[in-house]
Amino acid sequence: MLTLTLHDALREIPAQAWDALHDQSNPLICHAFLDGLERTGCLRPRWGWTPRHAALWYGDTLIAAAPAYLKDNSHGEFVFDHAWANAYARHGLDYFPKWLVAVPYSPVPGPRLLARGSAARAQLCRHMAEEAARRGWSSLHINFLPDHEAADCPEGWLARQDVQFHWRNPAAEGLEPWRTFDDFLAALTHKKRKNIRAERQRVACTGIRFDHVRGAEACESDLADMHALYCAGFIEKGNSPALTLEFFHHLASRLPHALVLILARAGRETIAGALCLRGTDRLYGRYWGSRVELPGLHFETCYYQGIELCLREGLHHFEPGAQGEHKLARGFLPRTTHSRHWLTDLEFRDAIGRWCVQEVQATEQYRRSALLHAPFRDPCY
């Protein structure tokens, strides 16, 4: 008999059982990462993140699970549904709370419906949708899930798409690999290659050096510097930094091989940095900050140093975050991301469904248009 249980904290679900449901190639879905967000004060109810994780059991065996949160706003999700909430309000209906399956604050595509096969994944979707309806929640959302998980969502779920810009070594497609940064540059058009070299040279002329610091090697000052840079970057844009210094320490101790700090140093001072997470075959660029205004420093810290790391360590993919058409000229091509949505109200589901179809068409048109401006000489890239 299948039983769905809901959990107010991830620590209620055994870490070994949770991590047995995915291949552990993506560190952001690991029990240690998600549990760390809760234990170190990063998920605050006043910011709209209340853990309500789902676990599907066959007897005493966990066969499927999802990192899920009750939300009373749409902040920190990167799949925007403010118009949906406004439409509900205009009709005197409550859109919040809604139930969201996601990695908080992280628009990183990856596993969301952790399961022992497609059948269990589909069952998890059905049980969660029924639970949302039973509890009177307006909707259930799954953000940034991979293609095969999206295909397992039952009929009636609404599909949305977006575009991110990712770097990929052609070795991922069985083509001749890039082994050095010069190999990568050689694949670009002359103009793009010249522009990147000029950007890197401007930074190199300042004498700034870059250190790639793994979690296991990070000292107290490295973590404190990176956290201060992260906070300053968020505050400068008028946002509240959610991640605590304690969480950075948690990553360094619990996921030491995944955490990578790219730190820009001027003498003994750390003047800029980017926090990345390393998966089995991918680098995930997450947060960045700088104490100085210097032309090209952002591109060097967040993009070129990451590409160098991927080439040196044989990683085939680099995902530096959401948005940013400026990434296209620097070798990051448009990739489609997916989300799935189930609305309890049938009339709203039908109306919003028609809008979603149009959005998917527009997003695909945008992706194809962006590809026309790809910086590579050979279209096979």
Task: Give yes or no for residue 155 having a pLDDT over 80.
Answer: yes
pLDDT of residue 45: 80
Helix, strand, or coil here: 115?
Answer: strand
Domain ends where: 96, 124, 154?
A: 154
User: Does one domain contain both 188 and 257?
Assistant: yes
pLDDT of residue 46: 81
User: Does one domain contain both 191 and 317?
Assistant: yes
116-117-120 Cα angle (round to 5): 75
Residue 341 lies in a domain: no
Yes or no: say if 156 and 309 are a contact pair by the CB < 8 Å rule.
no
Task: Give yes or no for residue 300 having a pLDDT over 90.
Answer: yes
Split at pLDDT 50, 70, 90, the class of 66 is: very high
User: Does one domain contain both 197 and 285?
Assistant: yes
Task: Give yes or no for residue 233 having a pLDDT over 90.
Answer: no
Alpha helices, DSSP H only, in the chain?
A: 15-19, 31-39, 82-90, 118-135, 147-151, 181-186, 190-204, 220-236, 245-254, 297-299, 305-313, 346-371
Q: Which domain holds residue 63?
A: 2-154
139 burial (CB, 10 Å; 0-12 / 13-18 / 19+) is buried
What average pLDDT does the segment 327-347 reach? 96
User: Does one domain contain both 193 and 312?
Assistant: yes
Q: Determine how many CB atoms are found less than 10 A away from the CB of residue 228.
A: 16
d(CA 266, CA 245): 23
Looking at every residue in the chain, the average pLDDT score rounds to 96
For 247-261, how does the pLDDT look when each residue is reduced to its tens digit (9 = 90+)? 999 999 999 999 999
pLDDT of residue 177: 96
pLDDT of residue 235: 85
Residue 70 lies in a domain: yes
203-208-213 Cα angle (round to 5): 115
Could you give the C-alpha distances from 335 to 111, 158, 285, 366, in angstroms and in order? 17, 20, 16, 11
Residue 96 lies in a domain: yes
pLDDT of residue 47: 83
Yes or no: say if 165 and 334 are a contact pair by the CB < 8 Å rule.
yes
pLDDT of residue 90: 94
Work out how many domains the chain is built from and give that number: 2
**CA 143 to mean position of chain CA atoms:** 9
Residue 22 lies in a domain: yes
User: Does one domain contain both 125 and 184?
Assistant: no
What average pLDDT does the segment 159-174 reach? 96
User: Does one domain contain both 268 and 124?
Assistant: no
pLDDT of residue 1: 86
pLDDT of residue 323: 78
Residue type for position 110: G
Task: Give yes or no for residue 238 having a pLDDT over 90.
Answer: no
User: Does one domain contain both 76 and 182?
Assistant: no
For 96-145, how does the pLDDT look when each residue is reduced to its tens digit (9 = 90+)? 999 999 999 999 999 999 998 999 999 999 999 999 999 999 999 999 99
Q: Among residues 358, 339, 354, 348, which one has the least CA distance to residue 138?
A: 348
What CATH number should be reported for the domain holding residue 281?
Answer: 3.40.630.30
